Amino acid sequence: MKTQTESKNLTKRLNTRLQAIKPDMIHSFDNEVSDIPGIIKLTLGEPDFNVPEHVKQAAIQSIMDNDSHYAPVPGTVKVREAAAHFLANRYDIHYDPKTEIIATVGATEAISDTLRAVTNPGDKVLLPGPTFPLYQPIIELNGADVVAINTEPNQFVLTPEQLQAAIDKDGDTIKAIMLNFPSNPTGVTYTANQIKALADILRNTNIIVISDEIYSELTYDQSHVSFAHYLPDQTLILNGVSKSHAMTGYRVGILAGPAALIGRINLMHAFSVTSASNPAMAAAAEALGSEQGRHDTESMKAEYKKRRDFVYDTMTKLGFTIPKPAGAFYIFAKIPERLHMTDYDFCLSLAKTSQVAVIPGAAFGPGGEGYLRLSYAASMANLKTAMAHLTTYMETH
Protein backbone atom coordinates (compact mmCIF):
# COMPACT_ATOMS: atom_id res chain seq x y z
CA MET A 1 0.00 0.00 0.00
CA LYS A 2 1.38 3.41 -0.96
CA THR A 3 1.86 6.03 1.71
CA GLN A 4 0.28 9.45 1.30
CA THR A 5 3.72 10.89 0.50
CA GLU A 6 4.21 8.34 -2.28
CA SER A 7 0.72 8.76 -3.73
CA LYS A 8 1.19 12.52 -4.00
CA ASN A 9 4.76 12.01 -5.27
CA LEU A 10 6.09 14.74 -3.03
CA THR A 11 9.66 13.91 -3.98
CA LYS A 12 9.06 15.75 -7.26
CA ARG A 13 8.66 18.93 -5.24
CA LEU A 14 12.19 18.71 -3.82
CA ASN A 15 15.30 20.53 -5.03
CA THR A 16 15.65 19.49 -8.67
CA ARG A 17 19.46 19.63 -8.49
CA LEU A 18 19.38 17.18 -5.60
CA GLN A 19 17.44 14.71 -7.73
CA ALA A 20 20.34 14.61 -10.19
CA ILE A 21 22.92 13.78 -7.51
CA LYS A 22 23.95 10.15 -7.27
CA PRO A 23 24.65 8.49 -3.89
CA ASP A 24 28.26 8.51 -2.69
CA MET A 25 29.79 5.28 -4.05
CA ILE A 26 32.17 4.96 -1.09
CA HIS A 27 29.36 4.51 1.40
CA SER A 28 26.99 2.74 -0.97
CA PHE A 29 29.62 0.13 -1.86
CA ASP A 30 30.64 -0.19 1.79
CA ASN A 31 27.00 -0.84 2.69
CA GLU A 32 26.66 -3.35 -0.14
CA VAL A 33 29.46 -5.57 1.17
CA SER A 34 29.23 -4.97 4.93
CA ASP A 35 26.94 -7.93 5.61
CA ILE A 36 29.26 -10.49 4.00
CA PRO A 37 30.28 -12.92 6.78
CA GLY A 38 33.89 -12.45 7.89
CA ILE A 39 34.40 -9.34 5.76
CA ILE A 40 37.57 -7.31 6.46
CA LYS A 41 36.65 -3.71 5.69
CA LEU A 42 39.42 -1.54 4.29
CA THR A 43 36.89 0.85 2.83
CA LEU A 44 36.55 3.96 5.00
CA GLY A 45 39.13 6.52 6.08
CA GLU A 46 38.57 5.84 9.76
CA PRO A 47 41.64 5.87 12.05
CA ASP A 48 41.72 2.80 14.32
CA PHE A 49 43.50 4.65 17.15
CA ASN A 50 41.82 6.02 20.27
CA VAL A 51 41.68 9.75 20.98
CA PRO A 52 44.62 10.75 23.24
CA GLU A 53 43.69 10.79 26.92
CA HIS A 54 44.56 14.45 27.54
CA VAL A 55 42.29 15.42 24.65
CA LYS A 56 39.43 13.36 26.09
CA GLN A 57 39.93 15.04 29.47
CA ALA A 58 39.63 18.48 27.89
CA ALA A 59 36.20 17.53 26.53
CA ILE A 60 35.16 16.07 29.90
CA GLN A 61 36.34 19.19 31.73
CA SER A 62 34.27 21.36 29.38
CA ILE A 63 31.18 19.37 30.33
CA MET A 64 31.98 19.48 34.05
CA ASP A 65 32.48 23.26 33.83
CA ASN A 66 28.93 23.59 32.48
CA ASP A 67 30.24 24.94 29.22
CA SER A 68 26.79 24.44 27.74
CA HIS A 69 25.80 27.77 26.24
CA TYR A 70 26.10 29.10 22.70
CA ALA A 71 29.69 29.64 21.61
CA PRO A 72 30.61 32.53 19.31
CA VAL A 73 29.61 31.62 15.76
CA PRO A 74 33.18 31.19 14.43
CA GLY A 75 34.11 29.08 17.46
CA THR A 76 35.51 29.66 20.93
CA VAL A 77 38.43 32.06 21.21
CA LYS A 78 40.49 29.21 22.63
CA VAL A 79 40.01 26.86 19.68
CA ARG A 80 40.66 29.62 17.14
CA GLU A 81 43.84 30.67 18.94
CA ALA A 82 44.96 27.04 19.10
CA ALA A 83 44.28 26.64 15.38
CA ALA A 84 46.26 29.80 14.58
CA HIS A 85 49.15 28.52 16.70
CA PHE A 86 49.01 25.12 14.99
CA LEU A 87 49.06 26.55 11.46
CA ALA A 88 51.87 28.97 12.27
CA ASN A 89 53.98 26.47 14.19
CA ARG A 90 53.63 23.60 11.73
CA TYR A 91 53.33 25.28 8.34
CA ASP A 92 54.50 28.88 8.75
CA ILE A 93 51.14 30.30 7.67
CA HIS A 94 49.73 33.05 9.84
CA TYR A 95 46.14 34.01 10.61
CA ASP A 96 44.35 36.36 12.99
CA PRO A 97 42.18 34.08 15.17
CA LYS A 98 39.62 36.89 15.56
CA THR A 99 38.87 37.42 11.87
CA GLU A 100 40.55 34.73 9.77
CA ILE A 101 39.64 31.37 11.35
CA ILE A 102 36.37 29.44 11.78
CA ALA A 103 35.87 26.21 13.72
CA THR A 104 33.38 24.11 11.74
CA VAL A 105 31.47 20.89 12.31
CA GLY A 106 34.13 18.75 10.71
CA ALA A 107 36.05 19.52 7.53
CA THR A 108 32.91 18.39 5.69
CA GLU A 109 30.99 21.46 6.84
CA ALA A 110 33.97 23.64 5.96
CA ILE A 111 33.92 22.22 2.42
CA SER A 112 30.17 22.72 2.10
CA ASP A 113 30.09 26.26 3.52
CA THR A 114 33.06 27.35 1.44
CA LEU A 115 31.79 26.02 -1.88
CA ARG A 116 28.29 27.38 -1.25
CA ALA A 117 29.66 30.80 -0.29
CA VAL A 118 32.09 31.00 -3.21
CA THR A 119 30.09 29.72 -6.19
CA ASN A 120 27.11 31.03 -8.14
CA PRO A 121 25.06 29.26 -10.81
CA GLY A 122 27.08 29.10 -14.02
CA ASP A 123 30.47 29.39 -12.31
CA LYS A 124 33.09 26.76 -12.97
CA VAL A 125 35.30 25.01 -10.42
CA LEU A 126 38.50 23.25 -11.44
CA LEU A 127 38.67 19.81 -9.86
CA PRO A 128 41.87 17.81 -10.40
CA GLY A 129 41.11 14.13 -10.02
CA PRO A 130 40.74 11.43 -9.03
CA THR A 131 39.68 13.11 -5.82
CA PHE A 132 37.41 12.93 -2.79
CA PRO A 133 33.85 12.52 -4.14
CA LEU A 134 32.21 15.01 -1.75
CA TYR A 135 33.36 18.07 -3.70
CA GLN A 136 31.47 17.53 -6.95
CA PRO A 137 27.91 17.17 -5.60
CA ILE A 138 28.23 20.28 -3.45
CA ILE A 139 29.48 22.27 -6.44
CA GLU A 140 26.62 21.01 -8.59
CA LEU A 141 23.97 21.56 -5.91
CA ASN A 142 24.96 25.21 -6.00
CA GLY A 143 24.39 25.33 -9.77
CA ALA A 144 28.08 25.60 -10.62
CA ASP A 145 29.89 23.33 -13.06
CA VAL A 146 32.82 21.02 -12.43
CA VAL A 147 35.78 21.18 -14.80
CA ALA A 148 37.48 17.85 -14.17
CA ILE A 149 41.21 17.58 -14.83
CA ASN A 150 42.50 14.01 -15.09
CA THR A 151 45.90 13.84 -13.37
CA GLU A 152 46.32 10.06 -13.77
CA PRO A 153 48.76 10.40 -16.70
CA ASN A 154 51.00 12.62 -14.54
CA GLN A 155 51.32 10.31 -11.54
CA PHE A 156 48.23 12.02 -10.03
CA VAL A 157 49.86 15.46 -9.80
CA LEU A 158 48.30 18.54 -11.42
CA THR A 159 50.90 20.10 -13.73
CA PRO A 160 51.30 23.82 -14.46
CA GLU A 161 50.60 23.04 -18.11
CA GLN A 162 47.27 21.40 -17.28
CA LEU A 163 46.30 24.28 -15.02
CA GLN A 164 47.20 26.91 -17.60
CA ALA A 165 45.32 25.05 -20.34
CA ALA A 166 42.16 24.95 -18.20
CA ILE A 167 42.43 28.67 -17.44
CA ASP A 168 43.00 29.52 -21.10
CA LYS A 169 39.92 27.51 -22.07
CA ASP A 170 37.41 28.73 -19.47
CA GLY A 171 38.86 32.07 -18.41
CA ASP A 172 36.79 34.32 -16.17
CA THR A 173 34.07 31.71 -15.69
CA ILE A 174 36.43 29.81 -13.37
CA LYS A 175 35.59 30.87 -9.83
CA ALA A 176 37.73 28.44 -7.84
CA ILE A 177 40.04 25.46 -7.86
CA MET A 178 39.59 22.64 -5.34
CA LEU A 179 42.82 20.96 -4.24
CA ASN A 180 43.38 18.07 -1.83
CA PHE A 181 46.83 16.99 -0.68
CA PRO A 182 48.01 14.65 0.70
CA SER A 183 45.36 13.16 -1.51
CA ASN A 184 42.35 11.03 -0.79
CA PRO A 185 42.36 8.59 -2.64
CA THR A 186 45.93 8.41 -3.98
CA GLY A 187 48.11 9.40 -1.02
CA VAL A 188 50.08 11.60 -3.43
CA THR A 189 51.18 15.03 -2.22
CA TYR A 190 52.96 18.05 -3.66
CA THR A 191 56.49 19.32 -3.18
CA ALA A 192 57.22 22.96 -2.42
CA ASN A 193 58.41 23.50 -6.01
CA GLN A 194 55.24 21.97 -7.45
CA ILE A 195 53.05 24.15 -5.25
CA LYS A 196 55.03 27.28 -6.12
CA ALA A 197 54.67 26.56 -9.85
CA LEU A 198 50.89 26.30 -9.55
CA ALA A 199 50.72 29.38 -7.30
CA ASP A 200 52.69 31.43 -9.82
CA ILE A 201 50.02 30.74 -12.43
CA LEU A 202 47.07 31.38 -10.13
CA ARG A 203 48.59 34.61 -8.81
CA ASN A 204 47.77 36.26 -12.12
CA THR A 205 44.08 35.35 -11.83
CA ASN A 206 41.11 35.99 -9.53
CA ILE A 207 40.63 32.28 -8.95
CA ILE A 208 40.04 31.31 -5.32
CA VAL A 209 42.09 28.35 -4.14
CA ILE A 210 40.27 25.99 -1.77
CA SER A 211 42.99 23.73 -0.37
CA ASP A 212 41.82 20.72 1.63
CA GLU A 213 44.86 19.79 3.73
CA ILE A 214 43.12 17.60 6.32
CA TYR A 215 45.86 14.95 6.00
CA SER A 216 48.72 17.44 6.41
CA GLU A 217 50.01 15.87 9.63
CA LEU A 218 50.18 12.43 7.98
CA THR A 219 52.99 13.19 5.53
CA TYR A 220 55.69 10.53 5.61
CA ASP A 221 58.79 11.25 3.56
CA GLN A 222 58.76 15.04 3.32
CA SER A 223 57.41 17.99 5.27
CA HIS A 224 53.96 19.23 4.31
CA VAL A 225 53.92 22.62 2.60
CA SER A 226 50.63 24.49 2.63
CA PHE A 227 49.37 26.15 -0.54
CA ALA A 228 48.75 29.27 1.54
CA HIS A 229 52.50 29.56 2.10
CA TYR A 230 52.86 30.76 -1.49
CA LEU A 231 49.46 32.34 -2.19
CA PRO A 232 47.91 33.48 1.11
CA ASP A 233 45.68 36.22 -0.29
CA GLN A 234 43.79 33.84 -2.61
CA THR A 235 43.78 30.64 -0.55
CA LEU A 236 41.28 29.12 1.86
CA ILE A 237 42.76 26.33 3.98
CA LEU A 238 40.74 23.39 5.29
CA ASN A 239 42.18 21.35 8.13
CA GLY A 240 41.05 19.76 11.39
CA VAL A 241 41.62 17.07 13.98
CA SER A 242 39.79 14.08 12.49
CA LYS A 243 42.82 12.47 10.87
CA SER A 244 45.70 13.92 12.89
CA HIS A 245 44.24 12.97 16.29
CA ALA A 246 41.79 10.18 15.34
CA MET A 247 38.89 12.45 16.29
CA THR A 248 36.49 11.75 13.41
CA GLY A 249 33.48 11.56 15.73
CA TYR A 250 34.23 14.85 17.48
CA ARG A 251 33.44 16.73 14.24
CA VAL A 252 35.75 19.73 14.41
CA GLY A 253 37.24 21.25 11.28
CA ILE A 254 39.29 24.38 10.77
CA LEU A 255 38.82 26.91 7.99
CA ALA A 256 41.39 29.70 7.58
CA GLY A 257 41.90 32.43 5.01
CA PRO A 258 41.76 36.16 4.26
CA ALA A 259 39.40 38.05 6.55
CA ALA A 260 37.26 39.38 3.70
CA LEU A 261 36.49 35.85 2.51
CA ILE A 262 36.22 34.25 5.95
CA GLY A 263 33.74 36.89 7.06
CA ARG A 264 31.34 35.99 4.27
CA ILE A 265 31.79 32.23 4.73
CA ASN A 266 31.10 32.72 8.44
CA LEU A 267 27.59 33.88 7.48
CA MET A 268 27.02 30.57 5.69
CA HIS A 269 28.43 28.75 8.73
CA ALA A 270 26.03 30.64 11.03
CA PHE A 271 23.04 29.80 8.83
CA SER A 272 24.07 26.13 8.70
CA VAL A 273 24.96 25.20 12.29
CA THR A 274 25.24 28.35 14.45
CA SER A 275 28.46 26.98 15.95
CA ALA A 276 30.31 23.76 16.69
CA SER A 277 29.91 21.84 19.98
CA ASN A 278 31.66 23.35 23.01
CA PRO A 279 33.13 20.09 24.42
CA ALA A 280 34.37 19.09 20.96
CA MET A 281 36.01 22.49 20.48
CA ALA A 282 37.63 22.23 23.91
CA ALA A 283 39.11 18.89 22.87
CA ALA A 284 40.28 20.30 19.54
CA ALA A 285 41.91 23.27 21.29
CA GLU A 286 43.87 20.84 23.45
CA ALA A 287 44.86 18.73 20.44
CA LEU A 288 46.01 21.69 18.35
CA GLY A 289 47.33 24.02 21.00
CA SER A 290 49.14 21.95 23.62
CA GLU A 291 52.70 20.67 23.45
CA GLN A 292 51.46 17.14 24.07
CA GLY A 293 48.98 17.48 21.24
CA ARG A 294 51.83 18.47 18.96
CA HIS A 295 53.36 15.02 19.43
CA ASP A 296 50.21 12.88 19.48
CA THR A 297 50.32 12.21 15.77
CA GLU A 298 53.92 11.03 15.68
CA SER A 299 53.30 7.51 17.00
CA MET A 300 50.21 7.14 14.80
CA LYS A 301 52.15 8.27 11.75
CA ALA A 302 54.97 5.83 12.43
CA GLU A 303 52.46 2.98 12.60
CA TYR A 304 50.70 4.12 9.43
CA LYS A 305 54.05 4.17 7.63
CA LYS A 306 54.72 0.55 8.64
CA ARG A 307 51.29 -0.44 7.36
CA ARG A 308 51.81 1.51 4.14
CA ASP A 309 55.10 -0.23 3.43
CA PHE A 310 53.67 -3.68 4.17
CA VAL A 311 50.60 -3.26 1.97
CA TYR A 312 52.50 -1.47 -0.80
CA ASP A 313 55.20 -4.16 -0.96
CA THR A 314 52.69 -7.02 -0.90
CA MET A 315 50.41 -5.59 -3.56
CA THR A 316 53.26 -4.53 -5.83
CA LYS A 317 54.57 -8.09 -5.82
CA LEU A 318 51.07 -9.28 -6.77
CA GLY A 319 51.14 -7.17 -9.92
CA PHE A 320 49.35 -3.99 -8.87
CA THR A 321 50.77 -0.67 -10.06
CA ILE A 322 50.74 1.82 -7.19
CA PRO A 323 52.02 5.37 -6.71
CA LYS A 324 53.77 5.05 -3.35
CA PRO A 325 51.70 7.15 -0.94
CA ALA A 326 53.58 10.13 0.47
CA GLY A 327 50.78 10.89 2.92
CA ALA A 328 47.28 10.09 4.21
CA PHE A 329 46.45 6.37 4.70
CA TYR A 330 45.32 5.05 1.34
CA ILE A 331 46.69 2.77 -1.36
CA PHE A 332 45.41 3.58 -4.85
CA ALA A 333 46.26 0.55 -6.94
CA LYS A 334 45.79 -0.12 -10.65
CA ILE A 335 44.12 -3.51 -11.13
CA PRO A 336 46.23 -5.79 -13.38
CA GLU A 337 44.89 -5.79 -16.94
CA ARG A 338 45.23 -9.57 -17.17
CA LEU A 339 42.12 -9.90 -14.98
CA HIS A 340 39.93 -8.19 -17.61
CA MET A 341 37.63 -6.80 -14.91
CA THR A 342 36.23 -3.36 -14.20
CA ASP A 343 37.20 -1.87 -10.86
CA TYR A 344 33.65 -2.36 -9.56
CA ASP A 345 33.51 -6.01 -10.65
CA PHE A 346 36.93 -6.71 -9.17
CA CYS A 347 36.07 -5.14 -5.81
CA LEU A 348 32.74 -6.94 -5.62
CA SER A 349 34.33 -10.27 -6.54
CA LEU A 350 37.12 -9.78 -4.00
CA ALA A 351 34.58 -9.03 -1.26
CA LYS A 352 32.31 -11.96 -2.05
CA THR A 353 34.97 -14.62 -2.58
CA SER A 354 37.81 -13.49 -0.31
CA GLN A 355 36.12 -11.32 2.36
CA VAL A 356 38.25 -8.23 1.64
CA ALA A 357 36.39 -4.94 1.05
CA VAL A 358 38.02 -2.06 -0.83
CA ILE A 359 36.49 0.80 -2.86
CA PRO A 360 36.26 0.88 -6.68
CA GLY A 361 38.42 3.65 -8.12
CA ALA A 362 35.57 4.99 -10.25
CA ALA A 363 34.11 6.42 -7.04
CA PHE A 364 36.77 9.13 -7.21
CA GLY A 365 36.00 10.49 -10.66
CA PRO A 366 38.01 10.77 -13.90
CA GLY A 367 41.31 8.93 -13.67
CA GLY A 368 40.02 6.52 -11.06
CA GLU A 369 38.59 3.90 -13.40
CA GLY A 370 40.52 0.65 -13.27
CA TYR A 371 41.91 1.34 -9.79
CA LEU A 372 40.92 0.43 -6.25
CA ARG A 373 41.34 2.37 -3.03
CA LEU A 374 42.39 0.53 0.10
CA SER A 375 42.47 2.22 3.50
CA TYR A 376 45.33 1.04 5.71
CA ALA A 377 43.87 2.86 8.71
CA ALA A 378 43.23 -0.62 10.09
CA SER A 379 45.15 -2.85 12.47
CA MET A 380 48.24 -4.64 11.17
CA ALA A 381 46.58 -7.92 12.10
CA ASN A 382 43.63 -7.17 9.82
CA LEU A 383 45.93 -5.96 7.07
CA LYS A 384 47.99 -9.17 7.22
CA THR A 385 44.85 -11.29 6.98
CA ALA A 386 43.54 -9.14 4.13
CA MET A 387 46.81 -9.39 2.21
CA ALA A 388 46.84 -13.18 2.67
CA HIS A 389 43.31 -13.35 1.25
CA LEU A 390 44.24 -11.04 -1.61
CA THR A 391 47.29 -13.15 -2.42
CA THR A 392 45.14 -16.26 -2.66
CA TYR A 393 42.63 -14.42 -4.81
CA MET A 394 45.29 -13.20 -7.26
CA GLU A 395 46.87 -16.66 -7.48
CA THR A 396 43.56 -18.25 -8.38
CA HIS A 397 42.26 -15.67 -10.86
Least confident of 23-27, 140-144, 296-300, 326-330: 23-27
Picking from 278, 294, 310, the residue at the C-terminal end of a domain is: 294
Query: How sure is the predictor about 307, in pLDDT bands with cuts at 50, 70 and 90?
Result: very high
Q: Are residues 98 and 217 in the same domain?
A: yes
Please give the model's pTM, rounded to 2 decimal places.
Answer: 0.95
Mean pLDDT of 188-192: 98
- The verdict on 207 and 353 lying in the same domain is no
Same-domain check for residues 35 and 69:
no
Residues 357 and 267 in one domain: no
Question: What pLDDT is stored for residue 14 in this prediction?
Answer: 86
Mean pLDDT throughout 121-147?
96
Question: Among the three residues 294, 326, 360, which one is the final residue of a domain in this structure?
Answer: 294
Residue 22's pLDDT band, with cuts at 50, 70 and 90, is: confident
- Together in a domain, 118 and 189: yes
28 and 89 assigned to the same domain: no
pLDDT band for position 3 (cuts 50, 70, 90):
low
Write the CATH number for 308: 3.90.1150.10
The percent of residues in the chain predicted with pLDDT above 90, rounded, is 92
Question: Which of the residue ranges 5-14, 287-296, 327-336 would you say has the lowest mean pLDDT?
Answer: 5-14
Print the domain residue range for 322. Answer: 4-50+297-395
Residues 58 and 111 in one domain: yes
pLDDT-derived band at 9, boundaries 50, 70, 90: confident
d(CA 293, CA 351): 38
| 92 pLDDT above the threshold of 90 | yes
Of residues 3 and 205, the one with the higher pLDDT is 205
* pLDDT band (50, 70, 90) for residue 2: low
> Mean pLDDT of all residues in the chain?
96
Q: Do 167 and 285 have their domain in common?
A: yes
The pLDDT score that the predictor gives to residue 21 is 84
Tens-place pLDDT, residues 236-291: 999 999 999 999 999 999 999 999 999 999 999 999 999 999 999 999 999 999 99
Q: What is the band of 5 on the pLDDT scale with cuts at 50, 70, 90? A: low
Q: Is the pLDDT of residue 17 over 60?
A: yes
pLDDT digits 0-9 by tens, 47-83: 999 999 999 999 999 999 999 999 999 999 999 999 9
Average pLDDT over every residue of 357-371: 97
Residue 13 pLDDT exceeds 90: no
Q: Give the domain-ending residue among 258, 277, 294.
A: 294
Report the number of distinct structural domains present in the chain: 2
Indicate if 108 and 252 belong to the same structural domain: yes
Q: Are residues 141 and 186 in the same domain?
A: yes
Same domain, 288 and 324: no
- At residue 197, the pLDDT reads 98
Whether 137 and 150 map to the same domain: the answer is yes
